[in-house]
Structure 1
Amino acid sequence: MTWTDLAAVTLENVHVRLRPLTDADRDSLRAIAMDPEIWRYFVSLVRTDAEYDAYFEATLADHMAGHRAVFHITDKHTGRAAGSMSFGNMAEADARIEIGWSWLGREFRGRGVNRWAKFLMLEHAFERLGAERVEFKTDQRNEPARRALRNIGAVEEGVLRSFNYMPGGRRRDAVFYSVLRAEWPGVKRALAAAPKVRMGAG
């Protein structure tokens, strides 16, 4: 089986459940996706129901085609949909994978949901897929996300200038971070021991 097959599985602990996205998730995620703060540094922009439907359809299509493994996140303390996160850029031959496309509803931020989701995905990448490198990228302007990635031990590697277009036509400078296999045990301990660490969307 390839990473495309192995990445899209249900991951959970006592805090969160991540399961592969389905069309049935459309409305539960819609209810929390209309917060403009979610999309401030995102490569997509959702302001209306029509824009949300276009975003969801594109996301689901990526998932079904195996371009990404997209997860629906449930906060197990409330039983409610909390947001979404993905594996992408799965370069299995080079043992490299990206975690990103991350967003959470307002009431689920700062409660450990993002941290535990990242923990489960990192654990799956290193301990089941056999990744040597897990990478993240975010907008250079997104200081909360950058600070949070550093706080879990991800190493800032540099800025790729004029990396991509953003909604409105701005060219984004993208900052790359990574965790390597040799670093994972320390990062795992830090994530498990620091309940107040916040992971920003990237």
Structure 2
Amino acid sequence: MSWVETASTTLENDHVLLRPIVPADREALRKQAMDPDIWRYFVLLIETDAEFDAFFDAALADQAAGRRVVYNVIDKPTGHTAGSMSFCSIAEPDGRLEIGWSWLGREFRGQGINRWAKFLMLEHAFERLGAERVEFKTDVLNLQARQGLRNIGATEEGVLRSFNPMPGGRRRDAIYFSVLRAEWPPVREQLRTRAKVTWPVGIG
């Protein structure tokens, strides 16, 4: 099976459950998405129901076309939708992919959900898909996200200047981080053992 087919499955542990989104997830995700803090460093801004619907419809279309695997991130203790994350920029022949489009609703931040969701996605990428490289990118201004990525052992690689337009008219400088296959074992242990790793919203 292709990486997209293999990744389109449920990932879970005692803390979180990640499953590919379906149309019925629209309202649960809308409830969490209507928070301007989520979109501060994102490449788009969601302020209205129409903007969310366009965002959700694009996610469904990307998933159907094999461009992304978009997960509904569910808090296992409550069974409630917490937010969403994706495998994207999937380059299977090159052995690399990106974890991005990551966001959580306000009530689910700082609870360890982000840490465990990223753990499951990295584990799946390296141990099931056989990836050689997993990438992350964020806005160079997003200092919290940059520190969160360093905290798990991701390597900061450099800045791509004027990478893309942002809401409001500025051009974002994007900073890339990565974890390589050889680095996964210590990163895995950091994610398993750290009491708290801050993974802010707006990575991707």
Instruction: Give me the TM-score of the superposition, normalised by structure 2.
Output: 0.98
Give SS of 1:137's match. Answer: strand
Instruction: Give the AA of the match of 2:33.
Output: A
Q: Distance in 1 between matches of 2:94 and 2:30?
A: 36
Contact 1:21–1:72 under 8 Å retained in 2: yes
Give how far 1:81 is off. 0.4
Q: Distance in 1 between matches of 2:22 and 2:14?
A: 22
Where does the alignment leave 5 or more consecutive residues of structure 2 unmatched? none
Q: How does 1:1-202 map to 2 (within 5 A)?
A: 1-201=1-201, 202=203
Give SS of 2:14's match. Answer: coil
Deviates more, 1:42-51 or 1:116-125: 42-51
Give SS of 1:84's match. Answer: strand
Task: Tell me the C-alpha RMSD between the 2 structures.
Answer: 0.7
Deviations 1:148-178 (A, max 9, x none): 0000000000000000011122100000000
Q: Distance in 2 between matches of 1:195 and 1:108?
A: 16
Q: Distance in 1 between matches of 2:181 and 2:83?
A: 27
Instruction: Give the AA of the match of 1:138.
Output: T
The percent identity for this pair of structures is 67
Deviations 1:79-120 (A, max 9, x none): 110000000111111100100100000011111000100000
Q: Distance in 2 between matches of 1:102 and 1:153?
A: 18
Q: Distance in 1 between matches of 2:92 and 2:83?
A: 26
Contact 1:161–1:172 under 8 Å retained in 2: yes
Give how far 1:195 is off. 2.4
Contact 1:149–1:200 under 8 Å retained in 2: no
Deviations 1:34-93 (A, max 9, x none): 100000011121001111111111111111111000000000121110000000111111
Q: Distance in 2 between matches of 1:117 and 1:195?
A: 15
Corresponding residue pairs, total: 202
Instruction: Give the AA of the match of 2:3.
Output: W
Q: Distance in 2 between matches of 1:192 and 1:74?
A: 19
Q: Distance in 1 between matches of 2:129 and 2:18?
A: 16
Where does the alignment leave 5 or more consecutive residues of structure 1 unmatched? none
Give SS of 1:175's match. Answer: strand
Q: Distance in 2 between matches of 1:82 and 1:143?
A: 23
